[in-house]
């Protein structure tokens, strides 16, 4: 599991915690509240191969895009 923090570039500029697995799934947290879960779009379809760091990096990138667009996440 890879953990990182990301600060949004606009709005209230809150800092979000991102947890990404080496299988391509991620979750976004704000404090103790889990805001969303998702999966890297490249690993969502097809055969699942062994875990690797590229899948975790893709999941983190996908989570950052979701934070910037605030899809499904109210900024309070």
Whole-model pTM: value is 0.81
* Domain assignment of residue 24, yes or no: yes
Helix count (H) and strand count (E) of the chain?
2, 4
Please answer whether residues 24 and 55 qualify as being in contact, where contact means their C-beta atoms are separated by less than 8 angstroms. Answer: yes
pLDDT at 76 over 80: no
* Domain assignment of residue 76, yes or no: no
More confident residue, 13 or 45: 13
Count of residues in the chain: 76
* Domain assignment of residue 59, yes or no: yes
- For 61, the domain range is 2-69
pLDDT score at 11 = 73
pLDDT score at 53 = 85
* Domain assignment of residue 41, yes or no: yes
pLDDT tens digits along 22-75: 888 999 999 999 988 998 877 766 666 777 888 889 899 999 998 888 755 556
How many domains are there within the chain?
1
* Domain assignment of residue 75, yes or no: no
For residue 29 the two structure tokens come to 């947290």
């Amino acid at each position: 599991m890879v953990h990182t923090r990301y600060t949004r570039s606009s709005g209230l500029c809150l800092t979000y915690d991102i947890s990404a697995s080496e299988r391509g799934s991620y979750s976004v947290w704000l404090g103790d509240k889990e805001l969303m879960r998702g999966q890297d779009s490249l690993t969502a379809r097809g055969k699942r191969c062994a875990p690797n760091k590229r899948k975790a990096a893709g999941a983190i990138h996908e989570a950052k895009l979701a934070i910037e667009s605030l899809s499904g996440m109210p900024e309070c």
